[in-house]
Structure 1
Amino acid sequence: MPTSPSPLAPGAAVTATVPVLEPPAWAVAERALFDRLDEAWRRFEEVYADERGRLRYPGKLSTRDGGDDFYEAFFNWPQLYLLGGSTDILRAAARHWRGVTDQLTELGVVRDDFERGYDWFHQGESALLFYGLTVADPGTWAGHARRFAELYTDPAHGNYDPARRIVLGAHNGTDGADRGLFDGSQYPWTQAEADTYGYPLDWLPGRAANGGPDGDPRLGEEMARRLGRGDVAMNMSISGLVLNAWLATGDEAFRTWVTGYVGGWRKRAEANDGVVPDNVDRNGVVGGTLDGRWYGGHYGWTWPHGLYSIGQAQAVAALSAALATSDDSYLDMVRTTHDHVYALARDLTLAESDTSIRRKAAALLGPDADRPTSMIPLRHSDRGPHDWNPPSLTVPMALWIHSGLPGDRARLERLRERSGRDWRLVLPFRDKEESGHEAPWFAFLTGDNPGYPERALAAAEHQLRRRLALIGAYPGEAVQEADIHLWQQVNPVVTEVLTQLTWGGPQVIYNGGHPQARVRYWDADAARPGLPADVAALVSDVEPQHVVVDLVNLSAAAERALVLQGGTFAEHRLNAVEVTQTPPDPAWPGDFYAYESAPPAPIERAVPVGEGVRYLTVTLPPGTRIRLTIAMTLRAFPPTLDAPVGSSL
């Protein structure tokens, strides 16, 4: 018998009746991908990890860099569990978080289970594994979530000034914000980094522009003095850490911190013509250590990644504050910053651009790399805008999925109109963020790419199988420090497409975001998050007031039951449901002497849901399917991590 979900409004339940005679290709491919992923993560674990959950790495770490790479190897494993992957993968993800944390403690990067002090471009990447564990199993991880957030909400830890609402250094963590940017006398440069990104503080006199970092004061004492103290834009990703604690504990102090800190950055953007600055000194003055420049901070507009990283940190902060308050005006600073950069766009071929991420841009453009396409400048310095690249759609898609507003959709439409590439094309590339397929997904959701589910699932299979081949080619018994990106590059767990198709949500923002979903699911029989066995889901429409979901039970013998939830955190109210069903018909399946029988014709039927609910129970008898058109109000309820079914963990 199915486990009873927590209280639902009377009648907030439906049963599928439409027979599955020819299973949809997308449904078969989706369930096959779940099966393949269950094999793939076990293979990765077997090759690269030991029985304690640690990665097989015999070396040391020579700089503060690298800790994030250990966690990133498993960043989306909890997400696969939340989607419907095996319970084993959640246990494995927890074991690897613990093993890697102990390993990094011995390597000197972590103290008290948290980074001693590093920038939040990298710490945000590290945090994704922990956030996923918290969402999947809040009872186990709430204490850690509280302790980590208090590193920033409690000024005694030396990271935060509550009077000025600023984080006190670009590198921060359990050792506070006074560690500076590096150990020793200068930043640990490599020549490849310098050749790719140039140097920060390039407006100061010195020798770096004429041949290298040795002896250049800008790369030692000047970096420490000007970039090592005070707040930077990447620290906005800390909002995700504190939001995580609020979701797990309900402590209002965490929500208050998020709104206060993000509110401070919002005011700075408003004072800078809508463009978020990247640096604030310890007195709260923008440009206070950079001779008045609003750009030039550590991991900011000038060096190394510009909007690529700042935009993600902004979005993490704004979406965290919006989720915590149901006040979407926090998103305005993200919109105005991006629109300012989009207005500078030029039509260039990839060969004509000065991109610092050429390999990523080439994969994104695919066969259209030689055609002129709209490119935007990711970076800004005294020499003006530069580092021209095709726009990443990570942030504008996150804004639209969150708000559903016409203006956020129109921004994407404008980007598409200016683009020289075909947004319907599904390319089988995969980067470490496991993203980049927002364009064809957007075209699908807006009715212009009907074959996307099948092509995207095929691309995911392609990615998975290539990663398994790479695991065979690079067994990694003795990974060297220079090659520690191997683990994340061959992680075979692919969740972007499954998140898009089943949840109606984009891939998580990689620099420390939380998952977004229009709907997600709980297995009522197994009493755990995710789709039940044999069940496939497809979200095909995400309008502001409704969502359309198809559910298919591919089993010909077993009944399945699930609870559909509005939003990642049950924050959306389900107001009304229309379902596609078939009325009882004696002609189906017909007399056993008959050679054939026409299935009954589906009809649309309204299902009462009372005054609006968070959850809807769906029963899927063997070999049935159902289409749900759900009218909803976005963010009508406070977000919660409470489960509508009893836990089986």
Structure 2
Amino acid sequence: MRVDRRGFLAGAVALTMPAQARAATQRVTLATKMKAPRWAVMQRQLLDANAAACSAFYAKYVDGRDRLRVFERWGANDGPDDAAEATNDWFLLHALGGDDRIRDLASRFWEGHLQQFAAAKTVDVPIARDGMYHREFPVQMDWQHNAEGLTSFNVMGLSMPGNARLQERNRRFADFYTGRDPTVANYDPVRRMMRSLLNGSRGPMLREATPLDWAGDPFDPAPFHMEHGETSYQQTLDHYAEYGDVIGDNPLNLQATTLGLNAYALGGGDHYRAWALDYLGAWAERAAKNDDILPSHVRPDGSVGKDWWKGVYGWGFSPKVPQTGERENRNRVPRSITAFMGAVVMSGDMGFIDLWRRQTARINDASRSIKGTLSAPTMYGAKGWYGWKPGAYRTNGFEIWYMSQRAEDRAAAGDHPWLDFLEGRNPAYPETALAADLARIDARVKLREEDTTTPETRLADWPIGINPASVASLVQTMTGGLHIARPPWSKSSPPQGGVPLHCRLRYFDPVSRRAGVPEDIAALIHRITADSTEVTLVNLNLGAAYRLVIRGGAYGEHRIDAVTVDGRTICVGGRDVDVALDPGCGARLVLKMTRYALSPTLAFPWT
């Protein structure tokens, strides 16, 4: 798929003109009194509860140098990527309207952990003997784990797009993969492919990987909680006994295109978007030539052959679990859909989602009766399809529907109480979801208070399960967005880290000059369709007026064509709308929108 971006770029011309040539942002004033809805009060309570709990978490698990208090190791189980995840969702929390202190703590931790794991070195694992980070990036790992470690980094731009260090890092990290950095040969621009599943700031691994490369240096696991249940170091090695096939490209590498998206959206230049779309387009072409199935293995010469299903984390990857001796299916190809979602943000081209719909159809075409039940496969190997599960194949169904908003995709999205609310069947959902996140914070606080581990007896993945940041209900209710994370939030969604925010609306405080709703403001998205969004805004303060800016999409990619409120329609024709809320006032707004019509940016509305 060679992407023609001319039409898309033309649609953004008005937004790249000098300020004096653009139409002024339209102002909407809400002056009708509104009794404070319970969901609005709970939303503000949740923002405050998150801030308090995160501060207490930081005090316990991060030291005075802003480094994580853990036993430092290299490895896919419990390495630097897990350490980086300790403050997952803190930047997102701030971008929604959370306290500035959460952004500041998350920023401090990011800097501290970079120093921590640049200094941490292996003895036996060759690639990390001079540091687990080089040039502030993992030296060499797969993009399941690289992406997880970038979960915070990939959303920093929502809160601090003007930060020069963030801008430079995004460009530098992206250029590890664009081919523009001559010191790192991860990407082959001629063949439009990554050269290995294992890659990073020290380049690709171009040999068979060993269990040591994946598991890290020898250690005694007895004092630690081991995620996979290992009881000896040998079992950690055995977990990776079949992880050697890493040479060539793998769809997990597509997660690197998020760096291109953010580098572009932070003002780095169109070559970042051009690279990301060309690389994603190459994979779309490979799928089209492979009976509409995205292959999991591209050979070093750039070809896709009869072994298209091979590779670590591929369609045929079912390694043996050392503790049980049984094989476990670990196909991670479905996770790469999020990179194609990013392609739609960058291009406006729904063809990047169409290929996933066609793939689902091909897999369902292979369904057959298993013990009297029609079942669909989830894996493919030398003997054909396997990994049968009852019913239709629906993996990624929610993401396909969310992006397309096509009626024919709705069934594959499955059932979810949030969808029931958006479709008018579950009016209590916002309060139920917000209450669940408040309870989640309480549970995480209790875990922290009862935690008896020490830095010598906890691995880097341990604090992840205690991190109190709880934002799923806020993302849904405030932005109409997807909180794609681990564990998965819907039955058809794979668990994933490092995914940028995909949403209908986000908000800015033009007075405080920051991202997120102002203090005392709450927002609830009631309904989304292919061309409209309905949102209630309310000012809970009876004595003060506020202003906020509504933006279409996380990256301003959705054009707001018009706003209707109290029977009055105002033409907009841009990515932002300025709203003034009088004391104690609110209203329900209907926004007419053209989705994915504008070039993505993370710049604040007033810059």
Normalised TM-score (structure 2): 0.82
Deviation, 1:233, is: 1.6
Q: Which amino acid aligns with 2:167?
A: A
Deviation, 1:257, is: 1.0
Q: Partner of 1:293 in structure 2?
A: 307
| Cα distance between partner residues in 2 of 1:308 and 1:396 | 17
| Cα distance between partner residues in 2 of 1:194 and 1:529 | 36
- Could you list the per-position Cα deviations for residues 295-327 of structure 1 after superposition, in whole angstroms to 9, with x for gaps in the alignment? 1211222336868632121x2221222222221
Q: 1:641 aligns with which of 596, 602, 605?
A: 602
Q: Partner of 1:88 in structure 2?
A: 101
> What secondary structure does 1:19 align onto?
coil
- Could you list the per-position Cα deviations for residues 478-498 of structure 1 after superposition, in whole angstroms to 9, with x for gaps in the alignment? 2536x4322111110011110
Q: 1:50 aligns with which of 55, 63, 73?
A: 63
| Cα distance between partner residues in 2 of 1:45 and 1:193 | 23
> Residues 518 and 548 of structure 2 are in contact (CA less than 8 Å); yes or no, is this contact kept in structure 1?
yes
- Could you list the per-position Cα deviations for residues 394-434 of structure 1 after superposition, in whole angstroms to 9, with x for gaps in the alignment? 8333333333233333432xxx3xxxxxx4xxxxxxxxxxx
Computing the radius of gyration from Cα coordinates, the structure with the larger value is: 1
Q: Partner of 2:591 in structure 1?
A: 630
| Cα distance between partner residues in 2 of 1:564 and 1:19 | 20
Q: Partner of 1:153 in structure 2?
A: 178
Q: Which amino acid aligns with 1:635?
A: Y
Deviation, 1:461, is: 1.1
- More deviation, 383-392/278-287: 383-392
Q: 1:507 aligns with which of 475, 483, 500?
A: 483
> Residues 71 and 100 of structure 1 are in contact (CA less than 8 Å); yes or no, is this contact kept in structure 2?
yes
Q: Partner of 1:466 in structure 2?
A: 443
Deviation, 1:391, is: 8.9
> What secondary structure does 2:273 align onto?
helix
Aligned-pair identity (%): 31
Q: 1:132 aligns with which of 155, 162, 165?
A: 155
| Cα distance between partner residues in 2 of 1:644 and 1:262 | 29
Distance 1:185 1:404, change over 3 A: closer
Distance 1:64 1:505, change over 3 A: closer
Distance 1:496 1:375, change over 3 A: farther
Indicate whether 1:111 and 2:134 are aligned: yes
Q: Partner of 1:407 in structure 2?
A: 408
- More deviation, 292-301/63-72: 63-72
> What secondary structure does 1:270 align onto?
helix
> Residues 254 and 339 of structure 2 are in contact (CA less than 8 Å); yes or no, is this contact kept in structure 1?
yes
- More deviation, 378-387/499-508: 378-387
Distance 1:195 1:469, change over 3 A: closer
Deviation, 1:44, is: 0.8
Q: Partner of 1:98 in structure 2?
A: 111
RMSD: 3.3
Q: 2:191 aligns with which of 140, 164, 172?
A: 164
| Cα distance between partner residues in 1 of 2:428 and 2:403 | 24
> What secondary structure does 2:109 align onto?
helix
> What secondary structure does 2:483 align onto?
coil
- Could you list the per-position Cα deviations for residues 520-545 of structure 1 after superposition, in whole angstroms to 9, with x for gaps in the alignment? 11012211110111111000111111
Distance 1:540 1:185, change over 3 A: closer
Distance 1:475 1:621, change over 3 A: farther
**Structure 2: 5+ residue runs without aligned partners?**
1-18, 121-130, 319-327, 486-495
> What secondary structure does 1:145 align onto?
helix
Q: 2:201 aligns with which of 174, 184, 195?
A: 174
> Residues 378 and 389 of structure 1 are in contact (CA less than 8 Å); yes or no, is this contact kept in structure 2?
no
| Cα distance between partner residues in 1 of 2:189 and 2:534 | 44
Distance 1:212 1:527, change over 3 A: closer
Q: How many residues align?
A: 544
> What secondary structure does 1:536 align onto?
strand
> Residues 48 and 477 of structure 1 are in contact (CA less than 8 Å); yes or no, is this contact kept in structure 2?
no
- Could you list the per-position Cα deviations for residues 453-512 of structure 1 after superposition, in whole angstroms to 9, with x for gaps in the alignment? 11111111111111111111115422536x432211111001111011100111136343
Deviation, 1:440, is: 1.3
> Residues 59 and 480 of structure 1 are in contact (CA less than 8 Å); yes or no, is this contact kept in structure 2?
no
| Cα distance between partner residues in 1 of 2:390 and 2:267 | 41
Distance 1:503 1:45, change over 3 A: same
> Residues 11 and 608 of structure 1 are in contact (CA less than 8 Å); yes or no, is this contact kept in structure 2?
no
Indicate whether 1:606 and 2:569 are aligned: yes
Q: Partner of 1:521 in structure 2?
A: 507
Q: Partner of 2:473 in structure 1?
A: 497
> Residues 311 and 338 of structure 1 are in contact (CA less than 8 Å); yes or no, is this contact kept in structure 2?
no
Distance 1:485 1:390, change over 3 A: farther
Q: Partner of 2:379 in structure 1?
A: 379
Q: 2:48 aligns with which of 35, 41, 46?
A: 35
Distance 1:20 1:244, change over 3 A: same
Distance 1:639 1:339, change over 3 A: same
Distance 1:307 1:316, change over 3 A: farther
| Cα distance between partner residues in 2 of 1:529 and 1:403 | 27
> Residues 147 and 497 of structure 2 are in contact (CA less than 8 Å); yes or no, is this contact kept in structure 1?
yes
Q: Which amino acid aligns with 2:568?
A: R
